[in-house]
Amino acid sequence: MNSQQANMEELNTLYLGDCLTEMRKIRPNSIDLIYLDPPFFTEKKHSLKNRDGSTTFSFNDIWGDQESYALFLHERLLVMRDLLSDTGSIFVHCDKSANHIVRALLDAVFGAENFQSEIIWHYKRWSNAKKGLLPSHQNIYFFSKTKNFKFRKVFTAYSDATNLDQILQRRTRNKDNKSVYARDANGKIEIGDAKQGVPLNDVWDIPYLNPKAKERVGYPTQKPLLLLDRIIELVTDEDDVVLDPFCGSGTSCVAAKLLKRRYLGIDQSEDAINLAQSRLQAPVKTDSALLTKGRDSFAKQDSVILECLKGLAFNPVNRNQGIDAILIEQFENTPVLVKVQKSDETLAEAATRLLKAASKKGSKRVFLVQTLIDLNDLPPSRDNIDMIVIQTPSVQIQARSLA
């Protein structure tokens, strides 16, 4: 860290130190989102070893009384308020140990009128030792600086029990001022505007970090990337600035980086800063893969490529860039190859790979399944290979809709 710096203008950096002093170097009104995961007032010392056992990360969460905890948080929240831009928001993570204290402090600093939501992060856990209910949630308080806060509406699927047919119908009021469905002159039901889905609610069911997850870096109380992902997307745009004053292993910074936001992280522990630093450099790729996978499974859209070929008699081919399946029935005594376009390749790339494989296998007929809309030209065929491009239903529907 360059001590010459008048303020922390340099973004995408991690700073070592107490956030109270470090934050004072940041320009007021310059931050779009503050996420913080401070000590929870558990009255315990938390420590955990990393995978190879070389480093033990720990932090102290023993305070003796509520007042010292409240004081600690309060003076820091006051600084945070100044840093936040007028369209900015703050998300404070805590749990049952002190959520009422945190909420009261936030009310005092940001004003009860700027309270937006109590988000419940719900996860499943495996344990049954204790008398009582199994704790399986944490609380996140969402406050905005002003009522003019930035918010990007997110929509989710309708409930399975919802009668979607009816949702489409336009509403009106009858002569008794009662809300009813609108009908035209012929008594036929009128259809209303397009529906986008159900607005995201305040209870988030996101899996806790699996003990064996690759994502796990050995830092105690590490949060899932998916949680931060969602928070960041909710209240920031690209290039906005995210500050995490208790960044720990740097999950929020990693999420910000993956989502093309700028970030600032602060932590008191040198070990934590080093860990976060290294996470931000190399493993962004693995994090990115995890995020994609997480999002997919979240949306329940995980799919098998071969689903496209369901109903056909074929042998699946694994670990071959050019081929996904070979049909059991041959064409003019040559194997019929099938390739499905992957989400990270253009149709032209897929075609080139398929043609190369076909040439090698001496195939006379191959099928390329297009899974993404793409208007570029295909490479010319070669070796008299008959390449037939077919489209998945969604591509066909999209093509028609665009027309």
Partner DNA sequence: ACGGGAACTGAATCGGAAC
Partner DNA sequence: AGTTCCGATTCAGTTCCCG
* 69 contacts DNA (rule: CB under 7 A): no
Q: Name which position in 15, 40, 142, 314 contacts DNA (CB under 7 A).
A: 40
**CA-based nearest residue to 338, from 4, 346, 361, 72:** 361
Q: Give φ, ψ of 278 to 5 degrees.
A: -70, -35
* From 7, 289, 292, 382, residue interacting with a copy of itself (rule: CB under 8 A): 289
Indicate the residue among 10 and 118 with the shorter CB distance to DNA.
Answer: 118
Give the nearer residue to a copy of itself in terms of CB position, either 46 or 364: 364
251 interacts with a copy of itself by CB under 8 A? no
Write b or e for each residue in 238-275: b if 16 or more Cβ atoms lie within 10 A of its Cβ, otherwise e: eebbbbbbbbbbbbbbbbbbbbebbbbbbbebebbbeb
Least distance (Å) between residue 86 CB and a copy of itself: 15
Amino acid 78 reads L
Query: Among 5-13, 45-53, 189-197, 236-244, which window interacts with a copy of itself (CB under 8 A)?
Result: 189-197
Q: What CA–CA distance (Å, rounded) separates 85 from 149?
A: 9
Does 28 contact DNA by CB under 7 A?
A: no
Spatial contact of 136 and 204, defined as CB atoms under 8 Å apart = no
Beta carbons of 261 and 287 less than 8 angstroms apart: no
CA 127/CA 6 separation, integer angstroms: 50
Rounded Cα gap, residues 200 and 328, in angstroms: 47
Following CA atoms 99, 100, 101, 104 in sequence, which dihedral angle do they give, to the nearest 10 degrees? 120
Applying the rule CB under 8 A, the residues between 112 and 131 that interact with a copy of itself are 115-120, 122, 124-125, 127-128, 130-131
x-or-dash string of contact with a copy of itself, 138-177, rule CB under 8 A: -x--x--------x-x---xxxxxx-xx--x---------
Question: With binding defined as CB under 8 A, does residue 52 bind a copy of itself?
Answer: no
The verdict on 153 binding DNA (CB under 7 A) reads no
Residues that bind DNA in the complex, under the rule CB under 7 A: 37-40, 42, 46, 48, 51, 61, 93, 95, 123-131, 135, 138, 158-159, 161-163, 165-167, 171, 173, 178-181, 189, 195, 197-198, 207-208, 210-216, 218, 220-221, 286-291, 319-322, 360
